[in-house]
Amino acid sequence: MFEMLTYQFMQKAFITGIFVAVACALLGTFLVLRRYALIGDGIAHISFGGVATGLLFNITPFFGALLFALVGSLSILKLKDKAIVHGDSAIGIISHSSLGIGIFIASIAQGFNVDILSYLFGSILAIKTTEMILSVALTIVVIGIILLFYNDLFYITFNEESAKTSGIKVNFLNTLLIMMTAITIVTSMRVVGLMLASSLIILPAVSALQFHTSFKKTLLISSLIAVITVCCGLAISYSFDFAASGTIVLFNAAVFLVLLLFNKVKANIPFRSSRS
């Protein structure tokens, strides 16, 4: 363990992974409770178009993905708010259109290469210092916004209609939430890849919800699970030469299954009261 941390690439992997894990876990709790969890998948598909465009025009793929993710996520929200199509249909239209753009660009650029695959499936062990700094900075911004608007975000999570009548700027907060999700998906791109990015948003949150505790405690538990699974996934992948992204996601899935089975077993154990 200590030998692993002496390598600079592992230090960068752990720092980036921990920050991104916390941001994904916090946002994921809000999104899962609002039944918006799969929007992460949609934004991941949208981001792929930005990655391919960036590689084609020799622009940093991170910025290409971030631009596509922000524009695409706002387009989804606009389609949904204008009632042109339902929310899931809006996600499908924008995400698959952007995915098509990415595949088309990749085909005219002589197909997929190692760069594209590293963004699709993650390459946290090869992350650059600039990417680490950018990921950490964006994550801090996301966490800061959540803390700043915590009460209002909590309100719209459980009762959006009541929040509207109370004078809370619901449309602004929804826009803010989806933009933060877009930023977080892109920052997690190098950790687990675009194809698995939404797993860091969904799995820690649903695992934390198995504890059936208060909302604040759920946020803390979700963050703790995300950090532990990322660190354990990185350690296991280093020790056994596994793919880091897949190991992290499988570790998350294992935690969820253990907690789910524990609750099932606990629910089936009859309660016996003792008499003095």
Identify which of 126, 9, 253 has the alpha carbon closest to the alpha carbon of residue 117.
126
**For tokens 């998350």, what's the residue?**
252
How far lies 88's CA from each of 85, 158, 231, in Å? 8, 20, 33
Burial grade of 156 (CB within 10 A; 0-12, 13-18, 19 or more): buried
Per-residue confidence in pLDDT tens, the chain, 276 aa: 667 878 888 888 899 889 989 999 999 999 999 888 778 888 888 888 888 888 888 788 888 888 999 998 888 888 777 666 666 677 778 888 888 888 888 777 665 555 677 777 777 777 888 878 888 888 899 889 999 999 999 999 988 888 888 888 988 998 999 899 998 888 888 778 877 788 889 999 999 999 999 999 999 999 999 999 999 999 998 888 888 888 999 999 999 999 999 988 887 776 555 444
pTM for this prediction: 0.86
DSSP characters over 189-238: HHHH-TTTHHHHHHHHHHHHGGG---HHHHHHHHHHHHHHHHHHHHHHHH
**What is the rounded CA–CA span in Å between residue 45 and residue 207?**
25
For the chain, which residues make up each domain, given as ranges? 4-263
Q: Residue 234 corresponds to which tokens in the numbers above?
A: 């990185």
Q: Which residues contact 143 (CB under 8 A, 6 or more apart)?
A: 22, 23, 26
Nearest-angstrom CA–CA distance, 153 and 162: 13
> Cα separation of 102 and 50, whole Å?
7
End-to-end alpha carbon distance in the chain = 51
CATH architecture of 4-263: Orthogonal Bundle (1.10)
261/38 Cα distance (integer angstroms): 24
pLDDT at 260: 93
At residue 144, the pLDDT reads 92
- Around 188, how many Cα atoms within 13 Å sit in the side-chain half-sphere? 36
Helix (H, G, I), strand (E, B) or coil at 82: coil
> What is the residue type of 243?
A
